[in-house]
């Protein structure tokens, strides 16, 4: 199972939210590059960057930070937030992203998102299936759709998608454990390569997700709050 720390960015700073609520913003570091370098120094190979300013404004905002981290580390970066156009996808790749994650666009404009899968390949495009009460949420989680998470994933699996990041918004930032039952249900129903996100609070949560068969796990607040140390992650990696 791949361990994928997250760096969420607002105003160029490394932050975390609770349940995606922007009013709960907590700044952990003024310099995301410092955070990325520390991850790399402790054996981390992968990084999940979310441009929260971009997610809210429907256009990439913090691409310079992506560019800096990609240029000054060897981390394999997947990037999301504000990717709504062909130009935005190309910008993310040009700035050093190895993969991009599309969520809102996959709901609002399935044709353009499916086109990215065809153009760049399924190994480059991740489907963001972030949900609240099983319903897919969009626009930095500010809007909720009527799409069921499993039906949503299944529809894109038929279009060639191979990798899915699923965040249960009710768990995100709560440090109360991941949505194991939901993730198991998704994997049984679709057989997709699932990257779990949200709620990880301790090493035991990671061991449980590995046992479930998740391809990867994204974690943030558990690291920043000291619940999980980078040394522990290094041993797991």
Write out pLDDT tens, residues 46-76.
999 999 999 888 899 999 999 999 999 999 9
Q: Which of 227, 186, 174, 232 has the alpha carbon at shortest distance from 44?
A: 232
Domains of the chain: 2-236 (3.20.20.70)
> What distance in Å separates the CA atoms of residue 156 and residue 106, rounded to the nearest whole number?
9
Residue 172 has pLDDT above 90, yes or no: no
Q: How confident is the model at residue 140 (pLDDT cuts 50, 70, 90)?
A: low
pLDDT at 236: 85
Residue 138 has pLDDT above 90, yes or no: no
pLDDT in tens, 80-122: 999 999 999 999 999 999 999 999 899 999 999 999 999 999 9
> What distance in Å separates the CA atoms of residue 145 and residue 163, rounded to the nearest whole number?
21
- Strand ordering across the sheet containing 135-138: 131-132, 135-138, 143-148
Q: What is the mean pLDDT of the chain?
A: 95
Residue 139 has pLDDT above 90, yes or no: no
Residues annotated as catalytic are 8, 130
What pTM did the predictor assign? 0.94
């Amino acid at each position: 199972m791949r361990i994928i720390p997250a760096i969420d960015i607002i105003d160029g700073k490394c932050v975390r939210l609770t349940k995606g609520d922007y009013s709960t913003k907590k700044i952990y570091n003024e310099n995301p590059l410092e955070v990325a370098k520390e991850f790399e120094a402790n054996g981390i190979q992968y990084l999940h960057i979310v441009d929260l300013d971009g997610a809210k404004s429907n256009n990439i905002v913090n691409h310079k930070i992506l560019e800096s981290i990609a240029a000054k580390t060897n981390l394999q970066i997947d990037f999301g937030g504000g990717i709504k156009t062909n130009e935005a996808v190309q910008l993310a790749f040009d700035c050093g992203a190895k993969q991009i994650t599309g969520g809102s666009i996959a709901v609002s404009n399935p044709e353009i998102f499916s086109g990215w899968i065809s153009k760049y390949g399924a190994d480059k495009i991740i489907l963001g299936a972030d949900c609240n009460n099983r319903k897919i949420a969009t626009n930095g989680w500010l809007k909720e759709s009527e799409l069921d998470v499993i039906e949503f994933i299944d529809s894109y699996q038929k279009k060639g998608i191979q990798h899915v990041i699923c965040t249960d918004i009710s768990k995100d930032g709560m440090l109360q454990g991941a949505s194991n039952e939901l993730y198991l249900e998704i994997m049984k129903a679709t057989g997709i390569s699932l990257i779990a996100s949200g709620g990880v609070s301790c090493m035991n949560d990671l061991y449980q997700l590995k046992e479930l068969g998740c391809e990867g796990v994204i974690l943030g607040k558990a690291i920043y709050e000291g619940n999980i140390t980078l040394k522990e992650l290094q041993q797991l990696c």
